[in-house]
Structure 1
Amino acid sequence: MAGSEAEEPTPAQAQPFIEPDNAETADEDEGIFDERVSTYTASLSSSVIDYPTEHGRRYHAFRSGKYIMPNDDRELVRLDLLHVVMVRTVEDKLHHAPIDPDRTHSVLDIGTGTGVWAMEFGDEYPGSERESTCPRKRLQPHTTGMGSPNVKFEVDDVESEWTFPDPFDFIFCRYMAGSIADWPNLVKNVHDHLNPGGWAEFQDYDMQYRTDDDSLTDEHSTSKWLKVILGAANKVGRNPSPGPKLATWARDAGFENVTEKVFKMPIGPWPKDPYLKETGLINAAQVVDGLEGFSMRLLCGVEGWSETEVQVLLAQVRKELKGKAFHSYVNFHVVYGQKAAAPATAPATADEEPEA
């Protein structure tokens, strides 16, 4: 929550205080922000195909209307920026589950987006085969001549019946906030489609903006925007903050050795630490560029706002996010667990007759 109303973190969520950098003034920050962001976005591009458009953005053709986010070039670039942010946030690791490379041959990436995680995982583990499926269908790398030979992309809906012919050794599910209606069922499906002893990992958000110094208040436009956008997502049954519940859902689904790690993800270039400053800059860039995508369908379609009303609010939010009006972050949850190993089969004794 904004400012002093933020809930106290649980022990699993406890993270060190991030020291803000007060060397630059807020008036200078917006120009600095735009100049720095161009460094990260200049080389990111994708092809365009025909999809339905609403509010000037392109949305999903596959089961159109079910998912709130767009599916256009701007969104593809944003997702690649977000991949950078998420990997940097979780200690520059593609995963935290202690998978055994020698026993990890079939991997499923749920909600693969642009496919960047699957391709990087394929490069790191060339002996495995990945099948990536995304309910929010976007342009996958194989449509543009990119991708690893051991990665296959499919269009599917993870909330429909799973029809994979064989179980997997590792299932990875990241950034499905706002996309899933029945999280416990999804986590149970993941568990049931693992080989005995296989691992699953979930990485997702608590989308509530937080500060450690009460610099974000209810008077900020960002707080007002966040309150209405999270409320609208909950109204349509798409949990925008699944992160804090992932560990409980995993245990309820039958996972063993469940481990939870929570990382602070800064929003904006306000941290003093250079690495966190750069992470926060990239993160703010993808948030600023995604504001329309986050907001239009929910505020216009669910809350009944006009496009003009939405754009006025978003202009105020952009200005705040580009500067150092507050020192905000979100908690990013990493949860992994293991399916129980198959029970050992006792060897036949001399007195037992083999079956015919």
Structure 2
Amino acid sequence: MAAQGEETPSSSAAAIAAPTAPAAHPEEAANPATGLIDPDDGETDSAINVSIRDSLTSIRSSLLNFEDEYGRLYHSHSRGSEKSNLSWAVVISNHALTEYFFPHDNIEQDRLDLQHELFVRTFRGRLCTCPKFYGAKRVLDLGTGTGIWALEYAEEHPESEVRGLQLINFVISRLSLTTPQVIGVDLSPVQPDFMPPNCSFEIDDLEKPWTWSKSFDFIFSRTLNGSILDPVKLVDSIYKQLEPGGWFEAQDVCMSAQSDDDTIPENSSLVQWADEVVDAMEKIGRSLKLAMQWKQLLIDRGFEDVQETIYKWPTNTWPRDKTMKDIGGWGLANLDSFLESAALGTLTNIKGWSREEVLVLCSQARKEMRDPRIHVWWPVYVVTARKPGLPIQAPLE
């Protein structure tokens, strides 16, 4: 997997037709996460102490079906549809990911919330980069995970309707006190008992036919890598569900270790870890290369103003720049938890490794990951696109 050497935005069209907000943040050009990173030659401390989450609620329900495997909890595959007795409404489907090898326990939920903070810090406090960072009416969050993005977008935008679509069993971890409507979608529930009136969640398979009667003016996705069998079909569904002039934004991490100064050692365990996991997921048809494919997929379907920006996540606190050092610290905590999460289920079930072999590789990769002399970074792809046509105007009251 290559990062394709891109470090600056590129666009398939010269101008955005009739947006109601600026297409880019005014400080984006100076964002250090998109340029060359100078190492801090005095950096020796690889330890990090961060607070991952300010609130966590869990639910006990027959919908939360897990399997204990290799010391981690995984989604129970091919479960039937069941009704929830929770106080908030959730739509449940019997469409399930039959091959999903990443854990769904509290450790993974903590990591996903930490990773959310990492994304937000990368984008200088913003949840998204497209013009729909404000002004959206109906918002759909694909693969909402713990629901933190949908909940925070709803909190920031009380004028919006936000929906989270869940793909797997997670507990939506944070409470919100707002009134727009954000919709998040996944395959299993992890929401709190108290839901803000403008934010709702559904459990479904986003690769099945979409049945919403109303269109959205903003559809968002993050880290769908490894979840999609047919990305062409998914992009078609996104296109059809967007209203004319509506926006789509994808944020995905590319599992390809990069270095600007060739400090990655030969026979790197960290590179091997990433390559083995990517290869395993390719074998079952759920590619971890979606990050690099979004741009062309959207262009091919007929989207306009398709723009791709590649950000950088340092593996630890090796950068000299204070902002990138901070991002590297959060990135270290994220990757430290992700090593086993990504490798245990995939390499044992798909490639036939033993648990001990996986743990040895992860231990060796972790040692490299924490070494400030190894200046590794990971490409983070952000792709935004607009459906042709003028936005639908609300009727005058």
Say if 1:42 and 1:205 are closer, same or farther in 2 by CA, change over 3 A. closer
Across the two proteins, how many residue pairs are aligned to each other? 331
2:70 pairs with one of 33, 55, 68: 55
1:354: which partner in 2?
none
| 1:1-356 map, 5 Å | 9-10=5-6, 12=8, 15-25=34-44, 28-29=45-46, 33=47, 36-37=48-49, 39-41=50-52, 43=54, 45-47=56-58, 49=60, 50=64, 51-61=66-76, 63=96, 65-99=98-132, 101-102=134-135, 104-141=136-173, 143-145=191-193, 147-341=195-389
RMSD: 2.3
After TM superposition, give the deviation of residue 253 of structure 1 in Å. 1.5
After TM superposition, give the deviation of residue 43 of structure 1 in Å. 4.4
Verify the 8 A CA contact 2:256 2:271 in the aligned structure 1: no
Cα separation, 1, equivalents of 2:281 and 2:8: 26
Give, as a single letter, the amino acid of the residue that structure 2 aligns with 1:300. Answer: T
Give, as a single letter, the amino acid of the residue that structure 1 aligns with 2:37. Answer: I
Query: Bigger CA drift: 186-195 or 213-222?
Result: 213-222
- Unaligned 5+ residue runs, structure 1? 345-356
Cα separation, 2, equivalents of 1:146 and 1:123: 14
After TM superposition, give the deviation of residue 233 of structure 1 in Å. 1.3
After TM superposition, give the deviation of residue 70 of structure 1 in Å. 0.9
Identity %, equivalent residues: 34
Verify the 8 A CA contact 2:167 2:203 in the aligned structure 1: yes
Cα separation, 1, equivalents of 2:3 and 2:296: 19
Verify the 8 A CA contact 1:94 1:121 in the aligned structure 2: yes
DSSP-derived class of the 1:203 partner: strand
- Unaligned 5+ residue runs, structure 2? 11-33, 80-95, 176-190, 393-397
Give, as a single letter, the amino acid of the residue that structure 2 aligns with 1:106. Answer: R
DSSP-derived class of the 1:308 partner: helix
Cα separation, 2, equivalents of 1:114 and 1:321: 26
Cα separation, 2, equivalents of 1:276 and 1:199: 29
Give, as a single letter, the amino acid of the residue that structure 1 aligns with 2:146. Answer: T
Verify the 8 A CA contact 1:44 1:77 in the aligned structure 2: no
After TM superposition, give the deviation of residue 145 of structure 1 in Å. 3.7
After TM superposition, give the deviation of residue 68 of structure 1 in Å. 2.1
TM-score by length of 1: 0.86
Pick the structure with more helix per residue: 1
After TM superposition, give the deviation of residue 159 of structure 1 in Å. 0.9
Cα separation, 2, equivalents of 1:309 and 1:262: 33
DSSP-derived class of the 1:304 partner: coil
2:23: which partner in 1?
none
After TM superposition, give the deviation of residue 325 of structure 1 in Å. 4.3
Greater relative contact order, per chain length (Cα 8 Å cut-off, separation 6+): 1
1:351: which partner in 2?
none
Say if 1:198 and 1:268 are closer, same or farther in 2 by CA, change over 3 A. same
Higher Cα Rg: structure 1 or 2? 1
Verify the 8 A CA contact 1:13 1:263 in the aligned structure 2: no
Cα separation, 1, equivalents of 2:158 and 2:59: 30
After TM superposition, give the deviation of residue 241 of structure 1 in Å. 2.3
Cα separation, 1, equivalents of 2:58 and 2:371: 32
Cα separation, 2, equivalents of 1:67 and 1:60: 7
After TM superposition, give the deviation of residue 100 of structure 1 in Å. 8.1
